[in-house]
Structure 1
């Protein structure tokens, strides 16, 4: 995970929410003339009328198309999901509102916003709020089983996963081990970071394998690793080099396949992470 600065593009993100509320949810009482915002529906009008797509595109730009959880490079919006940090069906904001981006001054549960006497913004209704929406990948890998999602948004579902990527020093609070596993370092926010790692299944087998392979290739020039996309002979040499100590023929056979190597390359940030750690 890396720090996500929601102040970047905040005006544009809030503007999408404001536009949606004004265009799709605004009602006027015929007797009193008072304005109310009703029928806020993320899965319905927010999605169907194109607001979700615009919010997703803006968030992709802010995150440079990297998944908020696993740091996978998401090439296009078809492979991306908008993650509700505070789940859509959450009964409260407790545990999330300690983060400034999700504080009571910024975010309100949608049901509370809809019933509030004062609907001035902020706070914004959580199901359509810029600060409560980040981009996640679908957590899918080319594995030989029927698991639809191994990590990230779909795997997390509604489990408690505090937005530790809103901590500016989040990278220094996480340890990435040589076996590819990641762990929260002892110290402040340890439990919260661990909750997010567990909820998003960031130590699933596929992710550990990919991170381990990047660790093993950290000393190889990056251009040679890129060549492996098109040159299978180069790929085989690179894999044999990576596993020369352990003789891991299973991994060599797996990542020699095009589908596995293409997914592996989407995690190229770990090359930089391991290089910088040396």
Structure 2
């Protein structure tokens, strides 16, 4: 509702309420006006009641009338004025009670407003702190965003480099693929040539194997003949070995007899028929045998 409604509007509204036969109160006047604060309307309504008393006391301004009529009219006017003053005073007392109640309500509203203002100030301080924290967070996020944008730019450059390298790799792969195809053709030709060579080698090997088999058969016959000759030689060698053993045994027996005889001869006296030269030979022969 608007504040600062003109007093003339309040007075006119109070007159309109009184003309309807109702007692002018703050709420009725405000309803009549459709605006105005209770404090503003209440203060102006007090002035309206005081001016109403002055207006009711305006019988001195009446025109000249016959004395009987004038006295009767004055008596009626005074009675009406007395009744109006009583009604006005009663209404004023009620209005004052309403104003006191409204003032108490207004004081309660002001106290609640002060509490709300303190709460709002606290909320504002918290909001300010939150705003500062949000600004700090925003600065951090902007810094992080700048870093992320730099990373994205770096990744974009890396991607372009990878795309370029991929194109080069594809070209290189195509070249390698062509080389592989050429190498496969060459390998296939080499395989065919190798198979032809292997078949030729196999054929020559088969011929060599057949010739080797023939030679092996001939060699086997020769080997059998040589084996028989070797067996004959082995038997002759064994016979010679046996004869040598017998000859060695006989020689040993003869040597033993010779040694015995030499000892017997040496044990004889010098003049017993053994010459010095013979003795010397026997001694030498005995030493050689030993």
Tell me the TM-score normalised to structure 2 length.
0.17
Q: Which has the higher helix share?
A: 2
